[in-house]
A and B are shown apart, each in its own frame.
Chain A
Amino acid sequence: LAKTTQPISMDSYEGQEVNITCSHNNIATNDYITWYQQFPSQGPRFIIQGYKTKVTNEVASLFIPADRKSSTLSLPRVSLSDTAVYYCLVGGAAGNKLTFGGGTRVLVKP
């Protein structure tokens, strides 16, 4: 079972880049890595998903090293509205467990 750990909290300022690393030492061969954003009293919202190397979409980038034991979510030029909790989720393939990290509270300051 992949134990998934993240920093508890992180502060940043508007316009800066925020990088959040998730550690998943026991990731299975066919597990995916997915990141979600959650605001209070709302369901998590999908940000990005990857399997290996680098994935980029219009809101974020995901970096996964060759050993896949960690992953880093990169949020470019954050704004106040990016203040939220960010979760990594490891797993997803049929038969595999789904394990959320503990979540990282990101506070973006003006």
Chain B
Amino acid sequence: DTEVTQTPKHLVMGMTNKKSLKCEQHMGHRAMYWYKQKAKKPPELMFVYSYEKLSINESVPSRFSPECPNSSLLNLHLHALQPEDSALYLCASSQDRAYEQYFGPGTRLTVT
């Protein structure tokens, strides 16, 4: 199984809502990533977890809160988002930090 799954596929939320994005992999990978991608732009790294510990936070606003409950799961908790946070949110995993990443299909987030 070389798949990274993400739920939901689409999400529309208001600026006062609280929602969560979920990512799952069963490849035994020990590094997991969250990226944000705006239209016609490259993915921007947000967070990296390595061995279930947060190892990189790219100065992401606190309205985005990552969580890694176990080695297979990665969540991104969203609260009080702004319309400019609307984007495709991609999750990825890799065997370890230096290895190739496997990306999920993404969650298309719209903040109204």
Contact = CB atoms under 8 A, between A and B. Distances in A.
Interface of A: 30, 32, 34, 36, 41-46, 49, 87, 92-94, 97-98, 100-103
Given A43-B92, A94-B55, A102 B42 contact: yes
B42 A34 contact: no
Interface in B59-100: 88, 90, 92, 97-100
A30 B45 CA distance: 19
| Dominant secondary structure of chain B at its interface with chain A | strand
Given A103-B41, A103-B42, 9 more contacts: A30-B98, A32-B98, A34-B100, A44-B103, A49-B100, A87-B43, A92-B98, A100-B43, A102-B42
A42 B102 contact: no
Contacts of B90: 43-44
B25 interface: no
Contacts, number: 53
